[in-house]
């Protein structure tokens, strides 16, 4: 049986995908576990000093503002999408449009709130026309995501959609085959970048679920697996 979010809105052998890269011009990726207060300050400094003025790719040319991330600074779960849309570009926060409303209900179905998790995207500027970011854009922005994850140190990363899932797992395996099970993070291809150990759950992007609501049952299965790992109990339906 599906929770409340159901009602909202309408291979092995695969090639490696190495869009997650570091940038030595940025401060080193931190390996020390921070208090929640210090983590919040570190995130704010990363945003203020490096992300807001970024011009590393063409996406900066048409943005209204960057969209860094929002939520708890030391969460158990980090949700990673692909990039801001028009609503996010205007408001400066991730997942605030229709897909964001669905994500909020998905989080609520896990007995959590947006304030208890962290939400961000691979790229911090809106791609024109809300298109999928290309590899060069994701690579340019990935050093910021590396540092976010190193500061946040989540127990689980929920990768929303193909770009986030394939990038974070360094693979071209389709999302339909990646989803459904918790996997170790980081993968061997991303070893040595200073990323903290965690689990990652690839699943469908909320925008895709709005277009193809029949896949919501599979997304709920993925979230339930995350809940079991974290010891979360589903609310009564």
Report whether 193 contacts 148 (CB < 8 A). Answer: no
> Could you tell me whether strands 118-121 and 70-71 are parallel, antiparallel, or unpaired per DSSP bridges?
antiparallel
Residue 24 domain-assigned?
Answer: no
Residue 219 domain-assigned?
Answer: yes
Residue 78 domain-assigned?
Answer: yes
How many domains is the chain partitioned into structurally? Answer: 1
Residue 193 domain-assigned?
Answer: yes
What pLDDT is stored for residue 192 in this prediction? Answer: 85
The pLDDT tens digits of the residues spanning 36-54 come to 999 999 999 999 999 999 9
Domain that holds residue 198: 36-229
Residue 13 has pLDDT above 90, yes or no: no
Residue 20 domain-assigned?
Answer: no
The pLDDT tens digits of the residues spanning 77-132 come to 999 999 999 999 999 999 999 999 999 999 999 999 999 999 999 999 999 999 99
What pLDDT is stored for residue 200 in this prediction? Answer: 98
What pLDDT is stored for residue 70 in this prediction? Answer: 98
CA dihedral for 206, 208, 210, 215, sign (positive or negative): negative
- Which token pair is 5? 């979010």
Of the candidate ranges 14-28, 142-156, 165-179, the one whose mean pLDDT is the lowest = 14-28
Average pLDDT value over all residues in the chain: 91
- What CATH number corresponds to the domain at position 71? 3.40.470.10
Residue 170 has pLDDT above 70, yes or no: yes
Residue 133 domain-assigned?
Answer: yes
Residue 28 domain-assigned?
Answer: no
Of residues 80 and 22, more confidence is placed in: 80
What pLDDT is stored for residue 4 in this prediction? Answer: 43
Query: pLDDT-derived band of residue 235, with 50, 70 and 90 as boundaries?
Result: low
pTM as predicted: 0.92
Residue 79 domain-assigned?
Answer: yes
What pLDDT is stored for residue 19 in this prediction? Answer: 77
């Amino acid at each position: 049986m599906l929770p409340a979010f159901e009602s909202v809105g309408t291979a092995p052998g695969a090639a490696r995908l190495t869009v997650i890269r570091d940038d030595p011009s940025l401060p080193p990726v931190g390996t020390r576990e921070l208090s929640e207060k210090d983590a919040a300050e570190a995130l704010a400094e990363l945003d203020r000093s490096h992300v807001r003025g970024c011009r590393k790719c063409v996406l900066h040319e048409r943005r209204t503002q960057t969209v860094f991330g929002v939520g708890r600074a030391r969460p158990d779960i980090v949700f990673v999408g692909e990039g801001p849309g028009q609503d996010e570009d205007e408001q400066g926060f991730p997942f605030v449009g229709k897909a964001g409303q669905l994500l909020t209900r998905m989080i609520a179905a896990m007995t959590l709130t947006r304030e208890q998790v962290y939400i961000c995207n691979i790229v911090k500027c809106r791609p024109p026309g809300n298109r999928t970011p290309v590899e060069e854009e994701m690579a340019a922005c990935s050093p910021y995501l590396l540092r976010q994850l190193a500061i946040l140190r989540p127990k689980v990363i929920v990768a929303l959609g193909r770009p986030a899932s394939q990038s974070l797992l360094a693979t071209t395996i389709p999302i339909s085959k990646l989803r459904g099970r918790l996997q170790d993070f980081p993968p061997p291809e991303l070893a040595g970048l200073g990323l903290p150990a965690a689990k990652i759950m690839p699943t469908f992007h909320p925008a895709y679920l709005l277009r193809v609501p029949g896949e919501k049952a599979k997304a709920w299965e993925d979230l339930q697996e995350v809940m079991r790992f974290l010891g979360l109990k589903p609310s009564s339906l």
